[in-house]
Amino acid sequence: MAVTGILLGWKKNSGELIMPDTYQGVAAEMADWLPLDTLSRLAERAILPPTGQRPELDRVDVRPGKNSAKFLFKARQGEVQLDLSTGQVLSVGRRHSDWIEQVHDGSIIDDWLGIPHGIFKVFYNSLMGIALIIFTVTGFWLWYGPKRMKG
């Protein structure tokens, strides 16, 4: 949990090793944006696997301030960033941050074992949070207790 937490803290400052940077599209008004279905087809074309099978879209992250959209695909954590008004490909990359986050919060176990409602994730995070509190309190007492007894 500590290692994945460090990696997630560095994800935007990793030189695109963990997650691609967010790129700026051409400045335009929202009315000038291409429709999402058109942009989705352009993103699919940009990331089309060698098998030629249509990749499964997981989600779309629209960045109005940057006039760009990130199309996130399930296969291999693929990401395509497009300019919202021109449809130009700004970036194609892999988002390692997604699987790192799943390991970090325990949801990877829920997915692997088909556990519904994120029950393992809730249990795991509760256990780790409680353990951190206990270790902090007992660690402080082990440090402070002897000083108090001497003084």
DSSP states of the chain: -HHHHHHHHHGGGSTTSSSPPPPP-----GGGSPPHHHHHHHHHHHH--TT-PPPPEEEEEEEGGGTEEEEEESGGGEEEEEETTT--EEEEEE-HHHHHHHHHHSHHHHHHHT-GGGHHHHHHHHHHHHHHHHHHHHHHHHHHHHHHHH-
Predicted TM-score (pTM) of the model is 0.78
pLDDT at 53: 81
**Residue numbers of the domain that contains 127:** 116-150
Do residues 94 and 127 share a domain? no
At 33-72, the pLDDT tens digits run 999 999 999 999 998 877 778 889 999 999 999 999 999 9
Q: Which residues of the chain have pLDDT under 70?
A: 151
CATH number at residue 19: 3.10.450
Residue 137: per-residue pLDDT: 97
Same domain, 36 and 90: yes
